Amino acid sequence: MPGLLQHAVTTEVPGPKSRAAAKQLDAVFDSRAVHFVVDYDRSEGNYIVDVDGNRFLDVYSQIASIPVGYNNSTLIEAAKSPDMISALVNRPALGNFPSATWAAILRDGLLRVAPQGLDKIFTAQSGSEANELAFKAAFMLRRRRERGEGVEWSADEINSCLRNAKPGSPDLAVLSFKNSFHGRGFGSLSCTRSKAVHKLDIPSFDWPQAPFPALKYPLEDHVEANQAEEAACLVEVERLITEWSCPVAALIVEPIQSEGGDNHASPAFFQGLRDITHKHNVVFIVDEVQTGFGATGTFWGHEHWKLTSPPDMVTFSKKAQTAGYFFGDAMLVPDKAYRQFNTWIGDPARVLMSKAVIEEIVSRDLVQQTARVGDVLYGELEALARTYPDHIRNLRGKGQGTYIAFDTVDAPALVKGMKSLGVNIGTCGVCTVRLRPMLIFEEAHIPTLVGALDKVLRQS
Amino acid sequence: MPGLLQHAVTTEVPGPKSRAAAKQLDAVFDSRAVHFVVDYDRSEGNYIVDVDGNRFLDVYSQIASIPVGYNNSTLIEAAKSPDMISALVNRPALGNFPSATWAAILRDGLLRVAPQGLDKIFTAQSGSEANELAFKAAFMLRRRRERGEGVEWSADEINSCLRNAKPGSPDLAVLSFKNSFHGRGFGSLSCTRSKAVHKLDIPSFDWPQAPFPALKYPLEDHVEANQAEEAACLVEVERLITEWSCPVAALIVEPIQSEGGDNHASPAFFQGLRDITHKHNVVFIVDEVQTGFGATGTFWGHEHWKLTSPPDMVTFSKKAQTAGYFFGDAMLVPDKAYRQFNTWIGDPARVLMSKAVIEEIVSRDLVQQTARVGDVLYGELEALARTYPDHIRNLRGKGQGTYIAFDTVDAPALVKGMKSLGVNIGTCGVCTVRLRPMLIFEEAHIPTLVGALDKVLRQS
C-alpha cells in the first residue's frame, strides 16, 4: 500500500547517477532545469524514486500534473487496453475521421466531469493550446456578433486577413491579470504576466492586464481591507474593458494564480468578474489548468465561487493528462467548419488516460478525500506557522483542499533541505512554497511532510 | 498482406451509420468536418474502413500523418511495451524530472533521423507548437546577439516585458511566404497565409510575407521563366528582410507548400534563401511538418536541395506521430534555463511511437520504396494527364516520391467520386488534388488509384 512506503535519501540530491544521466542528456536536450533523473518503474503512489535509489514523498507531482499516483493500477489497465493500443497506433485526424468510439470516450470520460452548464468540449494537447483555442473561439464570436448573424465575410476581410491586416486580422484583446500564468504560446504568453524569464524577448500582443487582489493574511484579520482591495481591482477591470485601445473580447483568470505565487481572491471577486463580463459581452474564461481535477477539494476550483451563472469557457490540462476547453453556448462554435481545427485536435490516447483518471477519482471519492486531508494539513501548517512565524508567512488555501501555500525567507534553500529529507516540493512566485500533492495524498503522509518542514525550518 | 486487400464501397459515403455516428457526436463536439466515421479495428495497412463497412484505399492518410499503415504490427508492439505503459501512466514534466530512459529513447529514435548537421532536439506536441518554439528560440537568439554575450537583462527589459511593452517585448518578425501553412497558434498563424478560413477574425502580428515562386508546368518547357520567377522572389525576400519595419529574426518555409496547394520551387531557390538568411543573420527554419519522414523520397524534403550548409532549424510533426525541432547551433539554446520550457515538453508516449515508426521505415527501407513507387505513379499520372488534359493540369512532384499533386476543375466532385469508388483522397489550395499515400504504398496499389481517377474523370 503506497501510504506505508517510506521516504529514504542516501545521497546528496541530485545524486551522482542523476548528475551523470543529466550530463549525458545535455548533449542533445537542454537539461539545466533537471531536478533529478527518475526511475519511474520504482516510483509508486505518492513516492518518486530517482536513479540513485532515493525515494521522495512527492508533493510537487510533476508540476501539479500527476493526479492519482505513480504506476496507478487503474491507469495501467487503461494503458494496456485495446482502445489504447488502437489510439496509439492509428492516430486520427479527429475532425475528419473520428473513430466510432470517440463520442463514447468523451461521454464516459471528460464529459462526466464537465463543469455545470458547460456540456460541450474541444480537445487539445496542452494548457497553453487550450487557452489559445478558447481565445480564438472568443474572437470569432466577437466578430460574428459585430458582423451580424448570417452576414457573409466581405472580400476586404478575406483578403486583408491573409496579409495580417485589418479588418480581417482585427485588433482584439484578451484581458488577464498581473502575476497570471496562462501558457507560453504567442497568444497565451501575451496573457501570462508571471516572470520575465517566461516572456523576455518574445513579441507579444498589446493586451491589457488588470491588478489581481493582493489579499492580506490571515484573512479574518483583514476583512475590510481585502474587500476594498477586491473592489478596487474590479473597478480597474471594468475601466480597462471600456477604455482599452481595442475591444476586449475575453477575460481569462485562474481560480488561484499558481505560477504567480498562489494568489487567492474571494468568491465575491469572481462573481464581480462574471457580472462585468456579462455586462460588456466579454467571454469569461476560467483557466483551470492547474486548479482543475480536484486538488482544491472541489472538482473544479471555480465551484467554490457558487456563481449565479457559469463561466463561458473552462480550460483544463495537467492532472487531466490531456487538455481542452468546456463551453455551453453553441455560438462559441464558429460559424463555419474548419475555423476551429487542426490535424490532430488533441490525442485520443491521452483522452483515454483522462477517462481512467476520472474513473479513479470518482470511484475512490478522491475529491472529498482531498478536501478532508487538506483541512487537516492546513491545521498542522497553521500550528507550524506559529512556531516559525518568519519562515511560514501568509499561509493560504484554507478550505481549498491540499492547494496550500505559504511565503518563506529562502524558498530554494527550503526546497533543497526538504529534498535532503525525502520530500520533493515546489515553489512559485517570488518566495512562495506551493503544495501540490496528488489526490491520493492521505492523512498518513502529513507527518512526513510537516515533520520535514519542521526539521528544515529549525535548522534555518 | 495489406497490398492484397481490396477496396469495397457498398453505401453512399458517408453511409447511414457514419451519418448517425456523426450526428451523435455533434451534440458535444463539432462534427461538421467529418468525412466519415472510422472503424479503426478493421482498418489495415493502406486501407481505412468506415462504420458502414466500406473499405477505402487511403491516399490521404489522416491529413498526411499516418506513416506506416493502420494497425502496423511494429507499432502495435511498441504500444504494448513496458516503456509505453510507463510513459502513459507516469507522464513526466520532462524538463524537471526526465526518466532514466529519455536520453536513450531520443538517441535510438528521433536522433537517428536528425537532418545532417542538426544534432540537438526540442520536443513538442504539434507542428504548430514546434514552429512557435522555433520562433521563440530565434527571437531569443536575436536579442542575445543584440544585447551582447554575457550582458545581463536590464531592469527596464524585465519590467516592460511583463506589460507586453518594449524593450522587453520587442518588435521582431518572422518572414513567411504567400500560400504557406505553418499552424494555427497565434504566432504560427501569423505566418500562415493559406486560406481565410484559417485566419479570419484572429489578431495577428504584423509580419512580412514574400511571394513564393509560381512555377509553370511542365517545368522543362518553362525553364527560363521559372528561373526569372524564382530570382524575383528572392529579390523580394531580401528587400523585405532589409526594409521591414522591425528586424526579421527568422524565415520559415515549407519544402513544398502543402495546404497552400502543393507549390514547389527549385533547389536553387532554397539555396538562395540559405544564402540570404546567412547574409542577414536570419534564422532559417524549414517546416517539414508535412514533407518530413520520407514521403518525398528522401527522409527530409530539404535533402533534395543539397544545400551548401544546413538550415538552422527543422521542425517536424504528422508522420513523426510526435513533434519538435532539430537544430545544430548551441546558441539556439537560450541563455538561461526555463526560457524554452513548459510542463510536458512533448509526450514521451508519442516519442516512443515515433521511435517505432523510424524502426519500421529504416528496416523496411520505406523511403527508397517511396521514391521508387512515386516515380512509377508519376509516370502513370503523366499518361492519364494526356488523356484528360483539362482535368489533370500542372502535374507536379516528379522525383519527389509519392508527394504528387495536380490541379483539376472540380476538386470536391473528384474527391466525392473517388470515395464512391473506394479511394480516400485529399485536396489542398484552391483546385488541387494532393496525393499523400503512406510510406507502405506499393506499385500494387497504383492501379486502384489510377483506375479510379480514370473512371471519375471519364464521367466528368
Residue B155: closest C-alpha in chain A: A196
- pLDDT beyond 90 at A182: yes
Residues in chain B closer than 8 A to A165 (CB atoms): 206
Place of cell 456578433: A145
pLDDT at A2: 46
**The one catalytic residue among A10, A242, A343, A387:** A343
The CA distance from B422 to B425, in Å, is 10
Q: In this predicted structure, what is the pLDDT of residue B3? A: 46
CA–chain centroid gap for A251, Å, is 16
Inter-chain residue contact B143 with A71, CB threshold 8 Å = no
Residue B265: all three cell numbers together: 520551387
Question: What is the model's pLDDT at position B1?
Answer: 43
**B313-316 and B283-287: which strand pairing?**
parallel
Give the pLDDT confidence of B431-445 residue by residue, as tens digits. Answer: 999 999 999 999 999
Q: Rounded to a whole number, what is the distance in Å from the CA of A349 to chain B's nearest CA?
A: 8
Is-catalytic flag, A287? yes
Whether the per-residue pLDDT at B97 is higher than 60: the answer is yes
Which of A200, A332, A341 would best serve as a mutation to test chain B binding (most B beta carbons within 10 A)?
A: A200
DSSP string of B67-109, one letter each residue: -S-BT-HHHHHHHHSHHHHHHHHS---TTTS-BTTHHHHHHHT
Residue A248's DSSP bridge partners are: A173
- Contact by Cβ (8 Å): A177, A261: no
Q: What are phi and psi of B342, to 5 degrees?
A: -160, 180
Nearest-Cα distance to chain A for B316, in Å, is 13
Interface size between A and B, measured as CB pairs under 8 A:
384
pLDDT (tens digit, 9 = 90+) per residue, B290-345? 999 999 999 999 999 999 999 999 999 999 999 999 999 999 999 999 999 999 99
Task: Among B70, B202, B341, pick the best mutation site for testing chain A contact (most A Cβ within 10 A).
Answer: B202
CB nearest to A79's CB, from B89, B92, B344: B89
Q: Is B144 exposed, middle or buried (0-12, 13-18, 19+ CB in 10 A)?
A: middle
| Mean pLDDT, all residues of chain B | 97
Closest residue to A98, CB basis, from B25, B75, B80 = B25
Grouping H, G, I as helix, E, B as strand and the rest as coil, residue A432 is strand
Residue B4 pLDDT: 59
Q: B346 near B109, Cβ under 8 Å? A: no
Query: For A42-89, what is each residue's pLDDT tens digit?
Result: 999 999 999 999 999 999 999 999 999 999 999 999 999 999 999 999
Say how far residue B169 (Cα) sits from the centre of its chain.
29
For the segment B341-359, the average pLDDT, to the nearest whole number, is: 98
Confidence of residue A5 (pLDDT cuts 50, 70, 90): confident
The Cα of A95 is separated from the nearest Cα of chain B by a number of Å equal to 6
Residues 6 or more apart whose CB falls under 8 angstroms from that of B450 comprise B377, B380, B381, B384
Which residue out of A52, A287, A347, A407 is catalytically annotated? A287
Angle between helices A348-363 and B82-89 (to 10 degrees): 60
Task: Give how far Cα A364 sits from Cα of A43, A297, A369, B88, Å.
Answer: 21, 14, 9, 21
Residue B73, pLDDT > 50, answer yes
Q: Is the pLDDT of residue B102 over 90?
A: yes
Q: Which three cell numbers, joined as nine digits, stand for A258?
A: 499558481
Q: Shortest Cα distance from A324 to chain B (angstroms)?
A: 12
As a whole number of angstroms, the longest Cα–Cα distance in chain A is: 71
Query: Which of A84, A85, A97 has the most B C-beta neighbours within 10 Å, making it the best mutation to test the interface with B?
Result: A97
Nearest in space to B273 (alpha carbons), one of B247, B312, B243, B244? B312
Strands B423-424 and B55-58, bridge-based pairing: parallel
Nearest in space to B426 (alpha carbons), one of B199, B218, B262: B262
Residue B316 amino acid letter:
F
- Chain B residues with CB under 8 Å of A100 CB are 21, 37-40, 51
Q: How many CA atoms lie within 13 A of B249 on its CB side?
A: 23
Q: Give me the pLDDT at residue B7, please.
A: 87
- For CA atoms A380, A386, A391, A397, the dihedral sign is positive
Concatenate the DSSP letters of all residues of A63-126 into one string: HHT--S-BT-HHHHHHHHSHHHHHHHHS---TTTS-BTTHHHHHHHTGGGGPPTT--EEEEESS
Distance from CA of B334 to the nearest CA of A (A): 9
Give the residues across from B264 on adjacent strands. Answer: none
pLDDT tens string A134-180: 999 999 999 999 999 889 999 999 999 999 999 999 999 999 999 99
In chain B, residues with a C-beta closer than 8 Å to the C-beta of A77 are none
Write the pLDDT tens digit of every residue in B11-65. 999 999 999 999 999 988 999 999 999 999 999 999 999 999 999 999 999 999 9
Contacts of A70 in chain B (CB under 8 A): 89-90
pLDDT the model gives residue B460: 85
Residue % of chain B over a pLDDT of 90: 97
Written as nine digits, the cell of A415 is: 526546497
Helix (H, G, I), strand (E, B), or coil: what is residue A46? coil
What are the tens digits of pLDDT across the range B404-415?
999 999 999 999
Nearest to A153 among B48, B168, B200 (CB): B200
Rounded (to 5) percent helix, strand, coil in chain A: 45, 15, 45
CB-CB neighbors (< 8 A) of A121 in chain B: 28-29
Residue B312 · residue B279 · CB < 8 Å: no
**pLDDT tens figures, A422-435:** 999 999 999 999 99
Taking the C-alpha atoms of residue B258 and residue B262, their distance in angstroms, rounded to an integer, is: 4
Predicted interface score ipTM higher than 0.85 = yes
Per residue, the 3-state secondary structure of B46-58, as one string, reads CEEEECCCCEEEE
**Contact: B51, A100; criterion CB under 8 Å:** yes
Judged against a pLDDT cut of 70, whether residue B2 lies above it is answered with no
Cell numbers given for A185: 504560446
Rounded to whole angstroms, the Cα distance separating A341 from A322 reads 17
Nearest-by-CA chain A residue for B142: A201
Compare all CA atoms of chain A with the CA of B190 and give the residue at the minimum distance: A164
- Residue B5: is its pLDDT beyond 90? no
DSSP letter for A305, please: G
A318 part of the active site: yes
- Concatenated DSSP letters of A167-195: TTS---EEEEETT----SSHHHHHH--S-
Mapping DSSP onto H, E and C, the string for B165-183 reads CCCCCCCCEEEEECCCCCC
Chain B residue closest to A28 (CA)? Answer: B120
Residue A4 confidence (pLDDT) above 70: no
Q: What is the pLDDT of residue A7?
A: 87
Residue positions of B annotated with a catalytic role: 181, 287, 318, 343
pLDDT classification of A460: cutoffs 50, 70, 90:
confident
**Closest C-alpha to B120, from B328, B336, B341, B337:** B328
Please give the grid coordinates belonging to residue B329: 547551433
Tell me which chain B residues have a C-beta less than 8 angstroms from the C-beta of A29: 98, 102-103, 106, 120-123
Q: Give pLDDT tens digits for B125-154.
A: 999 999 999 999 999 999 999 999 889 999
Cα B433 → chain centroid: 16
Secondary element (H or E) of residue A356: helix A348-363
Containing B433, the helix (H) or strand (E) segment is strand B432-434
Distance CA B206, CA B191 (A): 10
Q: Strands A173-177 and A248-253, how do they pair?
A: parallel
What's the rounded Cα separation, in Å, for the pair B356 and B110? Answer: 10
**From A93, A103, A205, residue closest to B203, measured CB to CB:** A205
Is residue A100 pLDDT above 70, yes or no? yes
- Write the residue in A36, A120, A201 that is nearest to B28 by C-beta: A120
CB-CB: which of B33, B80, B169 is closest to A341? Answer: B33
Interface contact flag, B190 A187, Cβ < 8 Å: no
Q: Name the residue facing A203 among B32, B157, B205 (closest C-beta).
A: B205
pLDDT tier at A1, thresholds 50, 70, 90: very low
Comparing alpha-carbon positions, the chain A residue that sits nearest to B260 is: A162
Query: What sign has the CA pseudo-torsion B408, B414, B418, B421?
Result: negative
Euclidean distance between the first and final Cα of chain A, in Å?
34
Residue B169: name the closest of A246, A198, A172 by CA: A198
Closest CA to B343 of A134, A14, A64, A59: A64
Q: How far is CA B4 from CA A159, B233, B295, B442, B455, in A?
A: 47, 46, 22, 11, 21
